[in-house]
């Protein structure tokens, strides 16, 4: 666990303008900076970065947050890793409250292995320059030197111990832990078997993590040989069920194009990029997993899977569908593009061109239609038994989709195939959907909101600019009935205890990231960028708003006690409270 005190110190140390500008070119616009949003496609800049508030906000798509939040969204880093990356940039070391010696050792080991993999990648790139046969192979596949450099492509020589030239100690255990070498079993009379390189006479494709560190390799044979593709084994750095080839290079294009294209091989990714289709990634010789889907949906709301139209391609597509279902919240989409039997993405884009390929990807078969088509192909719906099988196979699939409009639409799409209504199919799957004309009951939000123009919301907006004003609050009436007031009180308590000393919106947002107040504070901070008041006017606005809230709270309390008096009379304590409130109202 990373201490909150360190996170606050980190946010005070870094400048969000510097953090964002490493990835997005910014232009000065008054007190703030602007750019075209990196999270959605736009022609006019609506992405604003405030150096005074250390906060970014896009008025187009609504993306907003602190420097930590930006790294999470832009680079797809989990929260702890975003903090670590920001700390690295600031020259700080992340402390952990539960950091055991074993954890420290694992972190040191990971850093050491990352260095080893980087040196191996550099070695393979140098070897490519020296090998005309490997260069001719890449040229024969239509790849330019620019694309090879962009993806860091290299070559592993056809020798048993080529990595001896890259490492002073070829027998170092780190080389084995990284999966770069294999230790053969010792022969009789030997204490140790012979060590040799895992990758030999192969084109080498480095696999990168979100920080651009090399964590694994994929090697492709130049001529005939088995296996055609050879991946790094599972290591402390690399897990093929979680990683995707080319994601680091594809991020900007994914955002520009509005979707990600998932293909089957390294060469497909690179060949597509050569022809200008730069939003493609590939799984690493394994079926698409839920981790892959989750990682991709952090980059975009639309995934297009591109598979061969043969039996193997259909099987891979079905596995991808199964992995995607639980991630399909409303607003997200998944579709499937099956290429003609004579083509893979590489050959198709060469023959038909990038624009035709994009058109086919955008017109690909939606998951819902593919699901219906596959279930109908597997089940003979002309018979009662076949229809029962259809329902039985649909049940575990539909129930994985989160409750919402998409699941309801799936039920309406599938039901006619078996002669049922959507309601009947839902009941057969153990689900419920609203009946026609029925009022839809939505799950309560984590933090229900009052009207956008409420005084309580205005108070929170002001506090997000000047947290120190919370010292003026004192007692607030009816706080339990208003989530905005609860957020205001939370800031007041936070400031009083010195939890975010000297912090602004970014510090408050990170401090309350996992609390019900967090979303409201983000919204309030974004509003301050959209409709900022003069700094000098904030105290007066705050006092006026607070006075309005107090008068309103007093009036509600008087009205409540007066109604109670008419119904059943008041106790002595209640009458005393009523008198106090009437006197206080007269004084305000």
Q: Which fold has domain 455-587?
A: DNAb Helicase; Chain A (1.10.860)
**Residue (of 221, 216, 256) closest to 233 by Cα position:** 216
229 contact partners, CB below 8 Å, separation of at least 6:
218, 219, 220, 265, 266, 285
CA distance 500 to 10: 12
pLDDT bin (cut points 50, 70, 90) of residue 462 is: confident
**Residue (of 72, 27, 71) closest to 49 by Cα position:** 27
Q: Which fold has domain 247-371?
A: Dna Topoisomerase Vi A Subunit; Chain: A, domain 2 (3.40.1360)
Q: Which fold has domain 104-183+194-231?
A: DNA primase DNAg catalytic core, N-terminal domain (3.90.980)
pLDDT bin (cut points 50, 70, 90) of residue 147 is: very high
Residue 13: count of CB within 10 angstroms of its CB = 13
Q: Can you give the pLDDT at residue 443?
A: 37
CA distance 348 to 75: 30
For residue 308, the SS3 value is strand
Domain ranges of the chain: 4-90, 104-183+194-231, 247-371, 379-428, 455-587
Least confident of 34-48, 365-379, 551-565: 551-565
Q: Can you give the pLDDT at residue 221?
A: 94
Q: Can you give the pLDDT at residue 190?
A: 60
Quick: pLDDT tens for 543-585. Answer: 888 888 777 777 877 888 888 888 777 888 888 877 887 877 7
Distances (CA, A) of 443 to 155, 321, 466: 55, 27, 34
CA distance 253 to 299: 10
SS3 string of 227-253? CCEEECCCCCCCCCCCCCECHHHHHHH
Domain 4-90 -> CATH class: alpha beta
Element (H, E) at 342: none
**Residue (of 30, 196, 57) closest to 523 by Cα position:** 57
Least confident of 53-57, 270-274, 418-422, 574-578: 574-578
Q: Between the ranges 51-65, 192-206, 493-507, where is the mean pLDDT highest?
A: 192-206
Looking at the whole model, is its pTM more than 0.75? no
Q: Can you give the pLDDT at residue 38?
A: 85
Quick: pLDDT tens for 156-198. Answer: 999 999 999 999 999 999 999 999 999 988 666 565 668 999 9
Q: Can you give the pLDDT at residue 448?
A: 41
């Amino acid at each position: 666990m990373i201490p909150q005190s360190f996170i606050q110190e980190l946010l005070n140390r870094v400048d969000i303008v510097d953090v964002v500008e490493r990835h997005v070119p910014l232009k000065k616009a008054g007190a703030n900076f602007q750019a075209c949003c990196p999270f959605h496609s736009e022609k006019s800049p609506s992405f604003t970065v405030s150096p005074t508030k250390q906060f970014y906000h896009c008025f187009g798509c609504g993306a907003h947050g602190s420097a930590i939040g930006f790294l999470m969204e832009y680079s797809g880093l989990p929260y702890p890793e975003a903090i670590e990356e920001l700390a690295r940039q600031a020259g700080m070391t992340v402390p952990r409250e539960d950091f055991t010696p074993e954890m420290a050792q694992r972190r040191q080991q990971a850093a050491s292995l990352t260095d080893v993999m980087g040196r191996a990648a550099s070695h393979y790139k140098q070897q490519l320059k020296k090998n005309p046969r490997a260069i001719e192979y890449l040229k024969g596949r239509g790849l330019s030197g620019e694309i090879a450099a962009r993806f860091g492509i290299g070559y592993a020589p056809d020798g048993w111990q080529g990595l001896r030239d890259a490492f002073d100690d070829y027998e170092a255990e780190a080389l084995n832990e990284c999966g770069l070498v294999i230790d053969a079993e010792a022969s009789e009379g030997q204490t140790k078997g012979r060590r040799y390189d895992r990758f030999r006479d192969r084109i080498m494709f480095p696999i990168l993590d979100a920080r651009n560190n090399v964590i694994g390799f994929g090697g492709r044979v130049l001529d005939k040989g088995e296996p055609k593709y050879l991946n790094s084994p599972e290591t402390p750095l690399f897990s093929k069920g979680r990683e995707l080839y080319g994601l680091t290079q594809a991020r900007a294009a994914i955002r520009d194009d509005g979707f990600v294209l998932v293909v089957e091989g390294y060469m497909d990714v690179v060949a597509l990029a050569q022809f200008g289709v730069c939003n493609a990634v590939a799984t690493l010789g394994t079926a698409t997993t839920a981790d892959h889907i989750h990682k991709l949906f952090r980059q975009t709301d639309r995934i297009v899977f591109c598979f061969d139209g043969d039996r193997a391609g259909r099987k891979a597509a079905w596995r991808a569908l199964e992995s995607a279902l639980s991630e399909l919240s409303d607003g997200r989409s998944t579709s499937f593009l099956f290429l003609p039997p004579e083509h893979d993405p590489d050959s198709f884009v060469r023959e038909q061109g990038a624009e035709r390929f994009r058109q086919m990807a955008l017109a690909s078969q939606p998951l819902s239609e593919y699901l219906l088509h596959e279930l109908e192909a597997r089940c003979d719906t002309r018979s009662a038994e076949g229809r029962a099988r259809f329902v039985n196979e649909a049940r575990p699939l539909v129930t994985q989709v989160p409750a919402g409009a998409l699941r309801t639409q799936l039920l309406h799409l599938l039901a006619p195939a078996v002669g049922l209504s959507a309601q009947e199919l839902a009941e057969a799957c153990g689900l419920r959907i609203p009946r026609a004309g029925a009022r839809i009951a939505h799950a309560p939000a984590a933090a229900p909101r009052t009207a956008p123009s409420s005084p309580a919301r205005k108070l929170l907006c002001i506090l997000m600019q000047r947290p120190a004003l919370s010292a003026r609050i004192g007692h607030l009436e009816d706080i339990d009935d208003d989530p905005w007031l609860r957020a205001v009180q939370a800031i007041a308590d936070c400031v009083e205890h010195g939890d975010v000393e000297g912090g602004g919106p970014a510090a408050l947002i990170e401090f309350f990231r996992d609390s019900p107040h967090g979303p409201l504070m983000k919204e309030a901070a974004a509003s301050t960028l959209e409709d900022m008041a003069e700094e000098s006017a904030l105290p007066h606005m705050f006092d006026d708003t607070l006075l309005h809230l107090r008068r309103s709270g007093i009036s509600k309390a008087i009205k409540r006690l007066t109604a109670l008096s008419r119904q059943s009379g008041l106790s002595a304590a209640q009458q005393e409270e009523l008198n106090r409130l009437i006197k206080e109202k007269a004084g305000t």
